[in-house]
């Protein structure tokens, strides 16, 4: 699951699916209160992982033969040994490719990759319209993934986050562009206060949006305040995990990651941000199931305890523009609320 979300999160537009999956996981936990409900499609991810592992195993001998072929061409360009290895690579690639296709047709389980079952293959070829059932099964599997729902949830979650973050980020941009130290400090301080205020509500607003499928809930601060009064400690804990788990990820932006391996840092991003989304859904559920507010002591303790956490988050975000490869543009990379992708992936 983490690997799939990390790979998707570096692909423009499709990275909204990654955000949508996380928001949907948070919403399901918010509805039921069970953490396990946030792990959506684990059976599908397990099947995908087995397929990737099986293909990777069979690619190893092909890569070895290919490396021998390239070495032979470097030593003796156009020589007999290079041509022999080229022919061997072509034959092995055809056989392995056919075997992998047959393993996927049989179901893509690990045993299918290690036992070719030639008799079953001959029988399958003799059946009328052998491809049609496979196509129907593939279409039904795609429909069961509800990709459009995840994309819609991710898109509206992104819209809500972008709308709330636009003003604070613009003010911070303005503060970074001012040359005079005094005005620059005051403008940056204003931007930090605005960003801290948004950070207090935005994770819960996104969960409420995914939970109700209503864009209006993404801007309903009153609803979040009501839920907070009913479960202040849970809200504080979810806020702490969401903000503090995002802080170490800013270290990955100091150096520019090569595009070919841009998905590798995203493994850590998803690994840190997914539990935060689950915990946010749990906090919202605790606020939903209670009908009365907690005593004022717990509410004010949670409010006061949230201030240093938010201040630390704002300080690190502000400092990131001086540490990140992208400079002030790193202020756009609010990965705690947007898609789990660093390096201007939004």
DSSP states along 108-120 = --HHHHH---HHH
Tokens 């099986």 identify what position? Answer: 54
Q: Does residue 192 sit within a domain?
A: yes
Do 261 and 159 lie in one domain? The reply is: yes
Tokens 């109700």 identify what position? Answer: 212
Do 205 and 61 lie in one domain? The reply is: no
What does the alpha-carbon distance between residue 195 and residue 170 come to, in Å, rounded to a whole number? Answer: 10
From residue 96, alpha-carbon distances to 114, 122, 293 in Å are 11, 17, 64
Q: Does residue 30 sit within a domain?
A: no
As a 3-state breakdown, the chain gives helix, strand, coil percent values, each rounded to 5, of 80, 0, 20
Q: What is the pLDDT of residue 258?
A: 63
Cα-based angle 110, 115, 119 (whole degrees, multiple of 5): 130
Q: 73-87, 103-117, 236-250, 298-312 — which is least confidently predicted?
A: 103-117
Do 221 and 293 lie in one domain? The reply is: yes
Do 171 and 88 lie in one domain? The reply is: no
Q: Does residue 160 sit within a domain?
A: yes
Contacts of 250 (CB under 8 A, 6+ apart): 316, 317, 320, 323, 324, 330
Do 180 and 242 lie in one domain? The reply is: yes
Is residue 261 within 8 Å of 8, Cβ to Cβ?
no
Q: What is the pLDDT of residue 259?
A: 61
Q: Does residue 38 sit within a domain?
A: no
What does the alpha-carbon distance between residue 210 and residue 217 come to, in Å, rounded to a whole number? Answer: 9
Instruction: Give me 63's structure tokens.
Output: 């890569």
Q: How many domains does the chain have?
A: 2
pLDDT tens across 279-328, in order? Answer: 999 999 999 888 888 888 888 999 999 999 999 998 988 888 877 766 67
What does the alpha-carbon distance between residue 38 and residue 243 come to, in Å, rounded to a whole number? Answer: 20
Do 198 and 290 lie in one domain? The reply is: yes
Do 135 and 110 lie in one domain? The reply is: yes
Q: Does residue 31 sit within a domain?
A: no
Domain ranges, residue 188: 154-332
Q: Does residue 338 sit within a domain?
A: no
- Collapsing DSSP states into helix, strand and coil, what is residue 33? coil
Reply yes or no on whether the pLDDT at 254 is more than 70. Answer: no
Q: Which of 110, 144, 178 is the last residue before a domain boundary? A: 144
Confidence of residue 181 (pLDDT cuts 50, 70, 90): confident
Do 124 and 172 lie in one domain? The reply is: no
Do 78 and 177 lie in one domain? The reply is: no
Instruction: Give me 261's structure tokens.
Output: 């391996």
Q: Is 301 exposed, middle or buried (0-12, 13-18, 19+ CB in 10 A)?
A: middle
Is residue 18 within 8 Å of 339, Cβ to Cβ?
yes
Q: What is the mean pLDDT of the chain?
A: 84
pLDDT tens across 120-175, in order? Answer: 777 766 676 666 666 666 666 666 667 888 889 989 999 999 899 989 989 888 88
Reply yes or no on whether the pLDDT at 343 is more than 50. Answer: no
Q: What is the pLDDT of residue 344?
A: 44
Is residue 316 within 8 Å of 250, Cβ to Cβ?
yes
Q: Which of 144, 168, 203 is the last residue before a domain boundary? A: 144
Do 88 and 108 lie in one domain? The reply is: yes
Phi/psi zone of residue 178: left (φ > 0), alpha (ψ -120 to 50 degrees), beta? beta
Q: Which of 104, 126, 144 is the last residue before a domain boundary? A: 144
Reply yes or no on whether the pLDDT at 56 is more than 50. Answer: yes
Q: What is the pLDDT of residue 236?
A: 94
From residue 296, alpha-carbon distances to 228, 231, 286 in Å are 12, 11, 17
Q: Does residue 10 sit within a domain?
A: no
Q: Does residue 23 sit within a domain?
A: no
Phi/psi zone of residue 280: left (φ > 0), alpha (ψ -120 to 50 degrees), beta? alpha
Would the CA dihedral through 114, 117, 118, 122 be positive or negative? Answer: negative
Alpha helix ranges (H) inside 213-329: 221-230, 232-246, 263-289, 296-323
What does the alpha-carbon distance between residue 142 and residue 309 come to, in Å, rounded to a whole number? Answer: 41
What does the alpha-carbon distance between residue 274 and residue 336 come to, in Å, rounded to a whole number? Answer: 10
Do 125 and 176 lie in one domain? The reply is: no
């Amino acid at each position: 699951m983490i690997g799939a979300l990390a790979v998707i999160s570096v692909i423009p537009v499709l990275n909204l699916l990654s955000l949508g999956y996380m928001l949907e996981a948070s919403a399901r936990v918010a509805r039921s209160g069970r953490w396990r409900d946030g792990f959506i499609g684990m059976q599908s991810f397990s099947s995908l992982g087995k397929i990737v592992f099986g293909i990777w195993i069979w690619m190893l001998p092909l890569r070895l033969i290919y490396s021998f072929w390239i070495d032979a061409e470097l030593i003796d360009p156009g020589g007999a040994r290079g041509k022999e290895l080229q022919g061997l690579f072509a034959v092995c690639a055809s056989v392995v490719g056919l075997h992998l296709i047959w393993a996927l047709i049989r179901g893509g389980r690990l045993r299918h990759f290690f036992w070719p079952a030639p008799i079953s293959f001959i029988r399958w070829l003799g059946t009328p319209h052998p491809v049609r059932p496979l196509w129907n099964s593939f279409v039904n599997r795609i429909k069961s993934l509800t990709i459009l729902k995840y994309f819609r949830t991710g898109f509206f979650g992104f819209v809500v986050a972008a709308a709330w973050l636009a003003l604070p980020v613009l003010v911070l941009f303005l503060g970074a562009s001012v040359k005079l130290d005094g005005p620059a400090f005051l403008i940056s301080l204003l931007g930090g206060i605005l960003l801290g205020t948004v950070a207090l509500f935005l994770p819960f607003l996104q969960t409420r949006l995914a939970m109700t499928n209503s864009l209006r809930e993404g801007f309903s601060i009153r609803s979040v305040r009501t839920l907070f009064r009913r479960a202040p400690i849970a809200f504080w804990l979810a806020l702490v995990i969401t903000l503090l788990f995002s802080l170490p990820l800013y270290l990955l932006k100091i150096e520019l990651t090569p595009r070919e391996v841009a998905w590798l840092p995203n493994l850590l991003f998803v690994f840190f941000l997914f539990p935060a989304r689950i915990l946010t859904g749990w906090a919202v559920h605790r606020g939903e199931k209670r009908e009365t507010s907690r005593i004022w002591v717990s509410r004010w303790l949670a409010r006061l305890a949230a201030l240093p956490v938010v201040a630390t988050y704002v300080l690190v975000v502000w400092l990131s523009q001086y540490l990140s490869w992208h400079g002030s543009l790193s202020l756009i990379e609010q990965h705690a609320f947007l898609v789990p992708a660093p390096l201007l992936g939004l």
